[in-house]
Amino acid sequence: MDRGINRRSIHLRSAALAIALVAVAAPHARAQSAATFTRVAPDLYFYYTGGAANSTVLVTSEGVLIVDSQGNRQGAEALLAEIRRVTAAPIKWVVNGQDHGDHYLGNAVFKREGAVIVAEAQTAATIARNYAYELEWRGLDPARAGAHVPPDVTFRDRMTIRLGGRDVILFHVGAGQNPGDTVVLFPHARAAYPSGAFAPKSWSSTSYASSLDSWIAVLEKIKALDVDMYLSGHAHLVTDRAEIDEEIAFLRELKSTVQDAIARGLTAEQAARSLTFERYAKWRNADRRATYVRNVHYLLRTGRAIYFDYLDGRTTLKPY
């Protein structure tokens, strides 16, 4: 497989893109509970769950590639049913964009269909470590979840998959929300799927981050990508880069506010209770604000991610 990356010179065409999305989305926009499966470009579909992790699907005559396999077997089966309404082509590839369970716990369904599962090397290593805990905190029955299905193929830095005449470019964008944050590019559609590294108007989990500054740097890289649309791993399709700026501003405010609390001698529990961030009260995951503030307090005091310290036995504080 070609491990290079092709860069194209383009200019953002938001108005034209909006017209194109209206034209192509209608025939394949379907609802399953809160989920929709929408064609956003030739051969490219966005599975928007309305709250859980999303997926992006490339459909070609040669086969299908899926980014993020959903958070359980039921979710993966629902996604597969949507795909089968569009094509009978084999499921060739599944990309695990990050190491949170809601992005990979559906692997077994697509492995059954014959898919090769791929992930960035650090992501794959964390998946191997955290399977049991991901089931535990998500309230999933291990007996029903079945055996862990790890990635078959790993990459470092970047990897290109060619399927049905389309290039799909996977690259490690740096340690942002997670050590192995991966962005998947679809050059023919001028689209990027940043998995969970960027979710607009979201209290994204602070449990895995080793540096908020590094996370901000990752978002800056995502913002600079030569694309017209971002298919978010946890929210709506984004065409306005101002939504990335909003997330960057939030992380900066989160860091500075918690730093100030530490300087004033507040404990993690006191900071979690008193720092309410009212203007973000309607953002996704705002109900986890106290936990995520506590986790940032831990990060800024120790320089380490609470999630990995918990897995390593360095702390008894659970990340969730």
Domain limits, the chain: 14-241
Report d(CA 290, CA 270) in Å as an integer: 10
CB–CB of 261/225 below 8 Å? Answer: no
Q: Residue 226's pLDDT is what?
A: 97
What kind and span of H or E run contains 285? none
**Radius of gyration of the chain measured on its C-alpha atoms:** 19
Average pLDDT estimate for 148-166:
97
Please tell me the predicted confidence (pLDDT) of residue 2.
Answer: 39
CB-based burial, 264-294: b 16+ in 10 Å, e otherwise: eebebeebbeebebeebeebbbbebbbbbbb
Mean local confidence (pLDDT), 54-75: 97
pLDDT of the residue at 213 = 98
How many Cα neighbours within 13 Å face the side chain of 161? 27
Query: Mean pLDDT throughout 22-30?
Result: 36
**Is pLDDT of 11 > 50?**
no
The residue written with tokens 């499921």 in the block is: 91
Report how far residue 122's alpha carbon sits from residue 204's, in angstroms, rounded to the nearest whole number: 20
Collect all residues with Cβ–Cβ distance below 8 Å to 125 and sequence separation of at least 6: 180
- Taking the C-alpha atoms of residue 84 and residue 87, their distance in angstroms, rounded to an integer, is 5
Could you tell me if 214 and 174 are in contact, meaning their C-beta atoms sit under 8 angstroms apart?
A: yes
Alpha-carbon span 75 to 137, nearest angstrom: 17
Sign of CA dihedral 195, 74, 320, 135: negative
Q: What is the pLDDT of residues 174-199, one digit of tens each?
A: 999 999 999 999 999 999 999 989 99
Cβ distance 176 to 211 under 8 Å?
A: no
Going by DSSP bridges, is the β-strand pair 91-96/229-231 parallel, antiparallel, or unpaired? unpaired
Mean pLDDT of 239-249: 98
Q: Where are the alpha helices (DSSP H) in the chain?
A: 14-25, 73-86, 107-112, 121-137, 142-145, 212-223, 242-263, 268-274, 289-302, 306-311
pLDDT grade for 131, boundaries at 50, 70 and 90 = very high
Q: pLDDT-based confidence at 117, cuts 50/70/90? A: very high
For 304, phi then psi, to 5°, come to: -130, 155
Give the mean model confidence (pLDDT) for residues 170-177.
Answer: 96
Question: What average pLDDT does range 267-292 have in this prediction?
Answer: 97
At the topology level, CATH places domain 14-241 in Metallo-beta-lactamase; Chain A (3.60.15)
* Gap between the Cα atoms of 143 and 127, Å rounded: 18
Helix (H) or strand (E) holding 13: none
Report percent pLDDT > 90 for the chain: 86
Please state the φ and ψ torsions of residue 257, each to the nearest 5 degrees: -70, -40
Rounded to whole angstroms, the Cα distance separating 110 from 88 reads 14
Instruction: Give me the pLDDT at residue 208, please.
Output: 95
pLDDT of the residue at 143: 83
| Count of C-beta atoms within a 10 Å radius of residue 8 | 9
Q: Quick one: 99 exposed, middle or buried, by C-beta within 10 A (0-12, 13-18, 19+)?
A: buried
